[in-house]
Structure 1
């Protein structure tokens, strides 16, 4: 093949990696079988190995995305895919409000917009089980849920005001090398609205809503209030909602040669 062909291929690879300000800055999460917060009779969920963004998507990265795909700009997005709060912290289609930081987590982003962003990079939103699995780690242990200090720290972060205004990377990386799963913003998952829990991988016909008393009976850890808060949020929102402290990051399946 010609030298020109190889040069073109190399340019295309670089474009894919850097065109939205998003490098391939991901870490490998080694999957396992684990008991999530909600599960009946010690229901075990299997999470396969996957890659996850080290940081939440930033304002700068999302700005580069809407430059490339103007259908997701503030004035052009279809109302079906984003409500009136979409990009509320932007002056216009291509400018953030004064005081907004380029390296802060992108918020006021709908699920549809977050999914489109990840799709364009050949990635996807993490599933709820993947997100919860990665987020149950602290700095030292892959499963820190039994630690009182772990849950207390997360609750303290959730109670802190205006954490969405901080730049990404503010909080220590966890066991996997992932930053800011807690303590910055809430994050979209691909199946955020599947908070109807019961049975193996939540696919059988017996469904209990999170807000019903019967759902709490299926919880595996009634003391994990921080996780209760996350499930409650997920169960109360719709895909076109854009919320002040709700951002996202991308995941990716591992390609098997």
Structure 2
């Protein structure tokens, strides 16, 4: 199969949602000011990538098969459970950042930035930013209490106001700049820059300490390397808006 044919085949089954430009009061603290962050218009995959979709990607890109991918691009946990059996409509997990990025490129996209992901994840079914609602926050936090041993459900949960699904309640998700989420050691708000070098330090100096669900994602992503993978970490893709 040619690369063009593979890209068309992948893109055919992937629905993307247009995300309008806007501003975001990010949970991440910044050194210079606390002004809202501007997010340019982009498109975001409606749902996370599924097991079935990733298996088809491996068929057309065998270099990402577990037996062929170089160790520098995938840790021993990469696709450890394999993709045979199980529900094809469940989100794929155990995928490294490198493999997720390669998939998105094959689909004509890329991984979303943290701000793009956070911007989309702030919405509920009727509001573009529901983070001030304690009931909504409590519902999201309830997911984190779910035992990790439970089988993952299918993708396709309730859509938020943009039409994006499964931003919460299904899997953690890779973002393009996951390794840049730690607060800079030169930050004027950092009492001890050394403490920012440890796992989970991304949650130390953050603007919104009440949004624990998102803070936990920052802590997890900050602790990973690009070759790592876990059984609860999946991904979705984004695309630039063509003008």
* TM-score bracket for this pair, using the shorter chain length: 0.7 to 0.9
Residue of structure 2 equivalent to 1:75: 67
CA distance in 1, matches of 2:135, 2:197: 25
CA distance in 2, matches of 1:68, 1:79: 20
Residue of structure 1 equivalent to 2:193: none
CA distance in 2, matches of 1:217, 1:74: 36
Does 2:43 correspond to 1:51?
A: yes
Quick one: structure 1 residues 117 and 216, their matched pair in 2 at CA, closer, same or farther if it must change by over 3 Å? closer
CA distance in 1, matches of 2:75, 2:198: 25
* Correspondence for 2:90 among 66, 82, 104: 104
* Correspondence for 1:173 among 159, 166, 181: 159
Q: Matches of residues 8-19 of structure 1 in structure 2 within 5 Å?
A: 16-17=7-8, 19=9
* Correspondence for 1:125 among 88, 111, 116: 111
Residue of structure 2 equivalent to 1:4: none
- 1:114-172 Cα deviation digits (max 9, x unpaired): 00000112100000010001000011100000000111011001211246621101x31
Quick one: structure 1 residues 15 and 110, their matched pair in 2 at CA, closer, same or farther if it must change by over 3 Å? closer
Q: Tell me the number of residue pairs that the alignment of Structure 1 and Structure 2 aligns.
A: 232
Residue of structure 1 equivalent to 2:217: 230
* Correspondence for 1:157 among 140, 143, 148: 143
Q: Matches of residues 19-34 of structure 1 in structure 2 within 5 Å?
A: 19-20=9-10, 23-34=13-24
Is the Cα–Cα contact under 8 Å of residues 56 and 247 in structure 1 kept in the other structure? Answer: yes
Quick one: structure 1 residues 173 and 211, their matched pair in 2 at CA, closer, same or farther if it must change by over 3 Å? farther
Does 2:43 correspond to 1:62?
A: no
Listed as ranges, the gaps of 5+ residues in structure 1 are: 1-11, 199-203
* Correspondence for 1:36 among 13, 26, 41: 26
* Displacement of 1:206: 3.2
Is the Cα–Cα contact under 8 Å of residues 20 and 62 in structure 1 kept in the other structure? Answer: no
Residue of structure 1 equivalent to 2:242: 255
Quick one: structure 1 residues 117 and 225, their matched pair in 2 at CA, closer, same or farther if it must change by over 3 Å? same
TM-score by length of 2: 0.87
Is the Cα–Cα contact under 8 Å of residues 199 and 222 in structure 2 kept in the other structure? Answer: no
RMSD: 2.5
Q: Which is greater in Rg?
A: 1
